[in-house]
A and B are shown apart, each in its own frame.
Chain A
């Protein structure tokens, strides 16, 4: 009995905590279906620095979809940046897989002099923040004439070493004896990669995909540094420019940006958790 009460108390504390964490999402969602009049009344205190404070209603008096309609059908600019985001994220994640999966396989399956050290180098690189590599990336991109093109954002990200590390963890789970048995039966190294490696570690690969999609959908530093042309911007840069004066538009655009991320989150929840656990540097 005492244990049950204790459990219930824990649950209450955690539920309140979880709700607080979800408040931002709730606010954005309710704001996006609120009429402009209501928004201007509620947000007046924040916008015009009037006396009094903000107020809010989770379920608006007059729910409306006008903001979504405007965002989706009457703002071509929004559509441009939305598709920029989709394109950038997709290119980066696909590129990361094409480059990173074979590299992870190389590190997981083969042991040669220097391969351990090389892998440590990869780990160190994955731990460096963008600011450290910003200037070096700029120097290369500038010399290659790629500044202010989508390649400037895509190419450096494709060679990020983090997915290599995550996928490597997946490949390490494959028992070496299985590969050895394949070799004895005459299977070539590429056959082993495609027929044993890929199918058995799809979990690790999907983890890298989920983490990659969330990370690059939210990418800010790289496009901010390397893209001057606003028509090339991703959503993550465009959205903050809207501001509270056009709150309805801003909320609706936020929700539209949120939808793919939530979609990926819900579908890939297990892989996301696996990926987080796999990013453990020490067992």
Chain B
């Protein structure tokens, strides 16, 4: 009987302590949660509602906004270009980053080199607009070297100019992440594999690459998200209506915003969010399966 009381009292005190800690947890989190809910979650719920709504007639219209955007040529072009851009630039970035990281991993000058590679990240887009014009316009440096005469921003080459500027800006953190991965592999694992009789290729395939899979995941996700920011270069160099091959979703959102096509924007925002969620979830799954093996 006495024991029971002691037990209950202890549980009670523990419960009180837990409750008090819960209050502290909420107090720490409250300002952030309030802002996130007020500026992101609730308004996004409103956007989802609007995507099924017509502003003009103020009535529920089902999927008609979605139908409209999927019949919209500009939207389809923008989706195609954005998808193509991501599909090209992310593998290029990942491989170039890995190459640079492997080359510099053992060198004594690695700190300095790393800083040089990171520097473009610190250069605001606005400051390189002029340089891009000097390099890629009709009388620019590229033509000077190739002895040609073409305005790269006015042809389909614009796409590749954008890929170059994306790689230029994002290579630094990719290298830093690869290096952190390469240096993070414990030497004794490799040693153990060698002692067990594994060859060089076998070590790379079965020991080193699996160790780098976490880093690869991070790089993929980060470079995917930063691929949306390439809009800054595209917009500042070519304005709201650039050459067709670099008309991206971001241009479209901006142009719709300028003429207040809010219904279409709502539907498109929901679509992009859903696709992104799917991609993130998919990447997560792929890596989970990969790690389980």
Contact = CB atoms under 8 A, between A and B. Distances in A.
Label chain B's interface by main secondary structure: helix
Given A103-B32, A224-B254, A240-B236, A18 B218 contact: no
12 contacts: A11-B109, A17-B100, A27-B134, A53-B144, A102-B27, A109-B25, A124-B280, A127-B225, A130-B228, A131-B249, A251-B130, A258-B124
Interface string A127-138: 111111111111
A176 interface: no
Interface string B252-283: 01100100001001100100110011001000
A280 B215 contact: yes
Contacts of A102: 27-29, 31-32
A129 to B, nearest CB: 4
A50 B139 contact: yes
B24 A103 contact: no
Given A132-B269, A261-B123, 11 more contacts: A24-B123, A127-B225, A131-B272, A132-B276, A137-B43, A159-B35, A161-B36, A218-B126, A247-B130, A273-B114, A276-B173
Quick one: which of B129, B130, B221, B253 has the most chain A CB within 10 A? B130
A24 B123 CA distance: 9
A36 interface: no
A28 B116 contact: no
A174 interface: no
Contacts of B204: none
A55 B249 CA distance: 36
Contacts of A99: 31-32, 35
Contacts of B29: 102-103, 106-107
Ranked nearest first, the 6 interchain pairs of A and B with the lowest CB-CB distance are A45-B139, A159-B35, A136-B43, A103-B32, A106-B28, A18-B116
Interface string A182-197: 0000000110010000
Quick one: which of A19, A23, A262, A281 has the most chain B CB within 10 A? A281
Interface stretch (A59-67, A68-76, A264-272): A264-272
A21 interface: yes
Given A103-B33, A110-B21, A236-B126, A276 B109 contact: no
Nearest to B221: A281
B247 to A, nearest CB: 14
B290 to A, nearest CB: 11
Contacts of B106: 7
A24 B120 contact: yes
Contacts of B292: none
Contacts of B27: 102
A207 to B, nearest CB: 12
Contacts of A43: 134
B119 A265 contact: yes
Contact of B232 (A125, A193, A221, A244): A221
B47 A125 contact: no
Contacts of A50: 139
Quick one: which of A115, A135, A214, A236 has the most chain B CB within 10 A? A135
Contacts of B214: 280, 282-283
Interface of B: 21-22, 24-29, 31-33, 35-36, 38-40, 42-44, 46-47, 100, 103-104, 106-107, 109, 113-131, 133-134, 137-141, 143-144, 168, 171, 173, 176-177, 180, 213-215, 217-218, 221-222, 225, 228-229, 231-232, 235-236, 249-250, 253-254, 257, 262, 265-266, 269, 272-273, 276-277, 280, 287
A214 B124 CA distance: 8
Given A189-B21, A240-B236, A21 B46 contact: no
A273 B115 CA distance: 9
A172 interface: no
A247 B118 CA distance: 27
Quick one: which of A133, A238, A257 has the most chain B CB within 10 A? A133
